[in-house]
A and B are shown apart, each in its own frame.
Chain A
Amino acid sequence: MSKALLEIKRLSCGYGDKTILRDISLAVDTEEIVTIIGPNGSGKTTLLRAVSRILAPREGKVLLSGVDINKMTPEKLARQIAVVGQFREPVAMTVKEYVLLGRIPFYTRFQFIETDRDRALADRYIRLTGIAECENKRLNELSGGQMQLAAIARALAQEPKLLLLDEPTAHLDITHQTRILDLIRRLNRELSITVLMVLHDLNLASEYSHRLMLLKEGQQVACGKPGQVLTYKAVEEVYDTTVLVDKNPLSGRPHVFLVTEEQQRVSDILGVGRQASGVRPNTQPKA
């Protein structure tokens, strides 16, 4: 790992008079995949919005290759950071037109028509993301998985150093969840794209990330390798839910199991620990 591509330094930000994030610091190294996890409303998306300059910091700053992003021109930032957001606007354009939108930051002042290079790049990323067969389809004719792939292709057309993704696997079946995350890992390895993403699924986050950052109520609870962050204690404390953490036998990475109310009662009566691989049940009463 070389030096940090993205540095978030003591960042606080929020909307109106509400502060959402408090004192967040994170350095994402070049060619790293870092995933932000945390419960709903913990500020994961807000953090991505601060990094993509939608939201200005109250305190602290966000540096990209050592430069404050809030001092760059919007075009310059768009040539380095691409975002795959959570929401899709229903537009009747074709996939090809949609992916070409990613070239907008590279247009010169009075340029009107895309160049051959723009078209070649759009083509390349359409093929790379595996949606070549529907490149002439309209967006509203795509399935959820294809739409997500198209959004990633559009982001890649920006040729970013840093790719931000907000829940790229939301509402997708397991086929597409793995397909999308495998693609992201491949982009990371083969195109050296640094990735900062938000995932809800702790196990997917554990499998696909170099490092995790766990947020709770806008504050950083833990940050480090999946094995260090995903302990039953940390997860139970942050999510206020009883869990059991074991290891994925294939990858050796932590895997989080949910414990139902019934299982919890049974194990309490029998005095059986839900511990596996050094995990102990949380016997503290809930707050």
Chain B
Amino acid sequence: MSRTNLRSGSRLPVFLVLLIVLSGTGVLALCTGATFIPIREIISILTSGKESPDYTILMHIRMPRIILGFAVGGSLSLAGALLQGMFRNPLVEPYTLGISGGASLGVALNILFKWYAVIGTIAYPVSGFIGALMVMFFVYGLSVRQQRLGLRDILLIGVMVSFIASSVVMLLMAISKSEDLHGIIFWIMGSLDEPNLTLIYIAVGVSLGGLLISHLFCLPLNALSLGEEGARHLGIQVESTRRWLFFLASLLTGLSVSVAGIIGFVGLVVPHFMRMVVGPDHRFLLSGSFLAGAAFLILCDTLARTIISPLELPVGVVTGIIGGIVFVYALTRKQVVL
């Protein structure tokens, strides 16, 4: 087992590799699809003008998906890294706190009550986001009101809220008409197909902003790996750190879920994987997770839309299968302790 990967000097190459992988997957995603466009043609298509159909495919169909994949993959993975660090529990992921459950419930209600007919397709992300926010405030409010509620209790409440929400969604599905049913299922399975460009820009802005802000909490997160008291002994204000991290992770997750639906596994597996590669130091882990998550989701989305082309697989299915297999493989290859 090599330990060199934990020395800070050897982390720079890791980040170079990550950037190369990320741009590589980006280019690959641009090239592949229902029609294959070779790399060398891309530049000429882009420079030759906006009228060609290839230009439309590249810039209006593939590019937005890649950008959204970058934002959502990065956000989910970053949120996972933050929450795993904050809860000191490697099994926590962005959806554990019930945020996805709230978002699904919001969207299911939107579809059933046809809010989208009133305010347009923007109703999907908006209702998802409101659902996510409501769960977030519920879980957080509960933990503030009951002063002695520990981290474990917050986690358990999150899991329970998740169950309750998904049960209510099931209930709604059971009583809904079949065309509504299709809409709910489709949304829940997750997809990077988002026609609204403004939403994509918001997602990118929030994810990059979140990445920047999260770095203010690298050292508190590192200190928290000593446990709550250990962090306090190092002068960390544990409560306010937690509050910030909770909101940051919730915002990143809530936005991702409301734009792209539920894409599982990214937030759980990618931070794990990066911890094996760059070590548990959050100064490297956060940005590493973000980049790797972005690349991973773009790659999975490319596969999702090419494997059974012209039909499209839900991207969550691909992230689950690939992520799970790669992760189990990596675990059996290398001793991992979190």
Interface of A toward B, CB cutoff 8 Å = 16, 49, 52-54, 73-79, 81-83, 85, 87, 89-94, 97, 101-102, 104-105, 107, 110, 112-113, 136-138, 140, 158
In the complex, the answer to whether A101 meets B6 with C-beta atoms within 8 Å is no
In the complex, the answer to whether A104 meets B229 with C-beta atoms within 8 Å is no
In the complex, the answer to whether A92 meets B338 with C-beta atoms within 8 Å is yes
Shortest A242–chain B CB gap in Å is 37
Asked whether any CB of chain A lies closer than 8 Å to the CB of B61, the reply is: no
Q: Knowing that A101-B225, A102-B234, A104-B235 touch, tell me 19 more A-B residue pairs with CB under 8 angstroms.
A: A52-B233, A73-B235, A77-B235, A81-B233, A82-B233, A83-B229, A87-B227, A89-B227, A89-B230, A91-B225, A91-B226, A92-B336, A94-B279, A97-B279, A97-B281, A113-B283, A137-B3, A138-B337, A158-B234
In the complex, the answer to whether A112 meets B283 with C-beta atoms within 8 Å is yes
Q: How many chain-B residues does the 8 Å CB contact rule pick out?
A: 30
Shortest B175–chain A CB gap in Å is 46
In the complex, what residues of B have CB within 8 A of residue A74's CB? 232, 235-237
- Cβ-Cβ contact count across A and B, 8 Å cutoff: 89
Say yes or no: A101-B226 contact (C-beta < 8 A), given A94-B3, A112-B215, A112-B283: yes
Shortest B238–chain A CB gap in Å is 9
Asked whether any CB of chain A lies closer than 8 Å to the CB of B145, the reply is: no
Asked whether any CB of chain A lies closer than 8 Å to the CB of B107, the reply is: no
In the complex, what residues of A have CB within 8 A of residue B234's CB? 78, 101-102, 104-105, 158
Summarize A's interface: helix, strand, loop or mixed.
loop
User: Which of A74, A102, A136 lies at the interface centre, i.e. has the most chain B CB atoms within 10 A of its CB?
Assistant: A74
Closest 8 CB pairs of A and B: A78-B235, A75-B235, A74-B235, A105-B235, A83-B233, A92-B337, A104-B234, A89-B227
How far is B336's CA from A93's CA once the two chains are assembled, in angstroms? Answer: 11
Say yes or no: A16-B7 contact (C-beta < 8 A), given A92-B275, A104-B222, A112-B283: no
How far is B234's CA from A89's CA once the two chains are assembled, in angstroms? Answer: 15
How far is B222's CA from A140's CA once the two chains are assembled, in angstroms? Answer: 16
Asked whether any CB of chain A lies closer than 8 Å to the CB of B148, the reply is: yes
How far is B67's CA from A214's CA once the two chains are assembled, in angstroms? Answer: 66
Summarize B's interface: helix, strand, loop or mixed.
loop
In the complex, what residues of B have CB within 8 A of residue A82's CB? 233
How far is B237's CA from A193's CA once the two chains are assembled, in angstroms? Answer: 26
In the complex, what residues of B have CB within 8 A of residue A87's CB? 227
When C-beta atoms are compared, the residue in chain A nearest to B6 turns out to be A94
When C-beta atoms are compared, the residue in chain B nearest to A164 turns out to be B233
Asked whether any CB of chain A lies closer than 8 Å to the CB of B307, the reply is: no
In the complex, the answer to whether A53 meets B232 with C-beta atoms within 8 Å is yes
How far is B232's CA from A15's CA once the two chains are assembled, in angstroms? Answer: 18
Partner of A54, one of B218, B229, B280: B229
Contact string against A for B residues 275-307, beta-carbon threshold 8 Å, 1 for contact and 0 otherwise: 100011101000000000000000000000000
When C-beta atoms are compared, the residue in chain B nearest to A93 turns out to be B280
Asked whether any CB of chain A lies closer than 8 Å to the CB of B12, the reply is: no
How far is B338's CA from A261's CA once the two chains are assembled, in angstroms? Answer: 47
In the complex, what residues of B have CB within 8 A of residue A91's CB? 225-226, 280, 337-338
Asked whether any CB of chain A lies closer than 8 Å to the CB of B223, the reply is: yes
